[in-house]
A and B are shown apart, each in its own frame.
Chain A
Amino acid sequence: MNRRIMYIATLVLIVLHQDVWFWTDARLLFGFMPIGLAYHALISILAGCLGAWACYACWPHEIEDDDTP
């Protein structure tokens, strides 16, 4: 189940990555950061969070068990 959630979350992230809504938006965040760049930096952070969750919730323990001496 958790694995399925991981794959779905990855697909959602890929869809969110196609941000047509910021395509022509040149607004600045915090006075210097283009919103399109800030959005994609956030995508990178979310990818890291998804990785952390995947390591916690859907770690392939069977591989670990196979290789424990």
Chain B
Amino acid sequence: MTPLIVITCYLLLLLGLGLYAGRMARGSSSDFFLAERSIGPFLLLMSLFGTTMTAFALVGSTGESFKRGIGVYGLMASISGIIHPLIFFIIGIRLWSFGKRNGYMTQIQFFRDRLESENIGIVLFPILVGLLIPYLLIGVMASGTIINVVTAGAFPEAFADFKGGVPPALGSAVICLVVMSYVFFGGLRGAAWANAFQTVVFMIVAAVASFTLASKLGGFESASRAVIESRPEMFTRVAIGKWEFLTYLFIPLSVGMFPHLFQHWLTARSARTFRLSVIAHPICIMLVWVPCVLIGAWATSAVVGGRPVIPPNFANANAVLPIMVKKLTTPLTTGLLSAGILAAIMSSLDSQFLCLSNIFTNDIVLHYGRKRTFSERQKILIGRGFVIVVVAITYLLSLAEPRSVFVLGIWCFSGFGALFPVIFAAVYWKRLTRAGAYAGILSTAATWLYMFRDSGFGENRHYLINWLGPDRGIMPAAVMFLVCVVATVVVSLCTRPPSDACLRKFFRT
């Protein structure tokens, strides 16, 4: 019962913080969706970091390390630490500037102007929303599962069918309600404050978990020595292909095209606000991932009282961290860890919910509706209405029990990453044309669909492209990226350049 009490207290605290932030609202749609572009360096760092780090940063990193060894840090974390800040620097700051100058609130508004195409939204909207929804579902379903696991045994009679824990559907509903409440009332300001708080929580939790677990395993040296003695390969990268390792760098490019990150960039108070994020983002990644990856490797060889903490050939890798904490620490620590994992999930969910509401409101209702007749108050009401609709639809989809959606995570990232050439060209290449952008987007979508089908709709979790040889599988994102580059460049060069007015708006000379 203690973990449930800790989680409840945490959720109440979060709700209070979000509602308090909502009291500072200024009553404009720009404030609701972009916090009046007033976010400072620390809140921006926490928002960007919290949004890019999902539950995977804590639970998934430990689980992947348990399966494949410490190489997952290089595969997923350190490459993100190089690519993400670079994108903040070369793309984020420029988009912020365009957004401030031209009053953009969504990514589609930028593309509409840059490509001089009223209908680019019709192509981009289903792709962006289609890739974002599975990403949302992962968070909603993971939150329900975690609450169920850590509360197992607390209600042996009431929830006997769920191992005595809170049913996943109920846990997911509570998380959705909490996130919806602070986004509904606080808009992006509420989400940014909540993100900052939650990001600090899950960073502390990662550190506390590693110190506590290490001490229970006889100290850092003892825990690592056990791995060297029984599973030394876990401290190497033999489970990861060299080409897979190389081509994984296309995945973190996804941050350049995430619509919810675009929205966060627009909230910055000034260009200088980005500096802290550019510098500290890779350090924050390291602080969270290194302890979790170590714990995952330790778990392969951890023995307490002559028995392994995690059984050999344990299949559910994502449960490794919760089980380690539950078996080796106190219920209070288990509760705190669970709150940390939920924090990581919710700090992504809030931005995604608000982003979808923003897209529906500004790119659909206001763009295709009677734009001039809506007052600021009405725009906020529409935005809030869509927050409820988006949360409700996501929750209902999660009830349909599409458990395989977990494998879709990497496909969502691949899709966004493969579209990166379009945003890069839009910012830096004057010769990018409307037809070129359409060609890039549509060819990427077609390649994505082909490969996704070829992977058995995500069933083949280790799907790689083996064109270079059987042991040289590369990530599908690398191929999609290449297709996007070729289609965008070739078609742009074959079609009429953008107008002078458009070029003057986005380029200095």
Q: Which residues of A approach B to under 8 Å, CB–CB?
A: 10, 13-14, 17-20, 22-26, 28, 31-34, 36-37, 40-41, 43-45, 47-48, 51-52, 54-55, 59-60, 62-64, 66-67
Contacts and interface: CB of A to CB of B under 8 A. Distances in A.
Q: In this complex, which of A18, A40, A48, A60 has the most chain B Cβ atoms within 10 angstroms of its Cβ?
A: A40
B271 A60 contact: yes
B240 to A, nearest CB: 9
Interface of B: 70-71, 73-74, 77-79, 81-82, 85-86, 89, 93-94, 97, 100-101, 220-221, 223-225, 228, 232-233, 235-238, 242, 245-246, 249, 270-272, 275, 278-283, 285-286, 290, 293-294, 297, 508
Contacts of A44: 77-78, 81, 282-283, 285-286
Contacts of A62: 508
A14 B249 contact: yes
B279 A45 contact: no
Contacts of A33: 224, 294
10 contacts: A13-B82, A14-B249, A22-B237, A32-B221, A33-B294, A34-B297, A48-B282, A51-B89, A51-B279, A59-B275
B236 A26 contact: yes
A36 to B, nearest CB: 6
A67 B279 contact: no
A60 B71 CA distance: 35
A52 B74 contact: no
A43 B321 CA distance: 25
B95 to A, nearest CB: 11
A40 B85 CA distance: 16
A24 to B, nearest CB: 5
Contact of B93 (A18, A47, A63): A63
- Per DSSP, chain B at the interface is helix
A14 B101 CA distance: 34
B82 A43 contact: yes
Contacts of B89: 51, 54-55
A66 B246 contact: no
Given A17-B79, A62-B508, A10 B236 contact: no
A47 B282 contact: yes
B489 to A, nearest CB: 19
Contact of A55 (B97, B223, B225, B279): B279
A49 to B, nearest CB: 8
A26 B228 contact: yes
A19 B78 CA distance: 12
B508 A23 contact: no
Contacts of B233: 26
B397 to A, nearest CB: 36
A17 B278 contact: no
Contacts of A54: 89, 278
Q: In this complex, which of A37, A41, A60 has the most chain B Cβ atoms within 10 angstroms of its Cβ?
A: A37
Contacts of A66: 97, 101
A23 B271 contact: no
A47 B70 contact: no
Contacts of B275: 55, 59
Q: In this complex, which of B89, B238, B290 has the most chain A Cβ atoms within 10 angstroms of its Cβ?
A: B89
The 5 tightest CB contacts between A and B, nearest first, are: A32-B220, A34-B235, A47-B282, A44-B286, A26-B235
B313 to A, nearest CB: 21
Contact of B228 (A28, A41, A45, A48): A28
Contacts of B290: 37, 41
A30 to B, nearest CB: 8
A67 B82 contact: no
Given A55-B279, A60-B93, A67-B270, A19 B85 contact: no
Q: In this complex, which of A17, A34, A66 has the most chain B Cβ atoms within 10 angstroms of its Cβ?
A: A34
A13 B74 CA distance: 12
A63 B92 CA distance: 12
Given A34-B70, A34-B297, A54-B89, A40 B242 contact: no
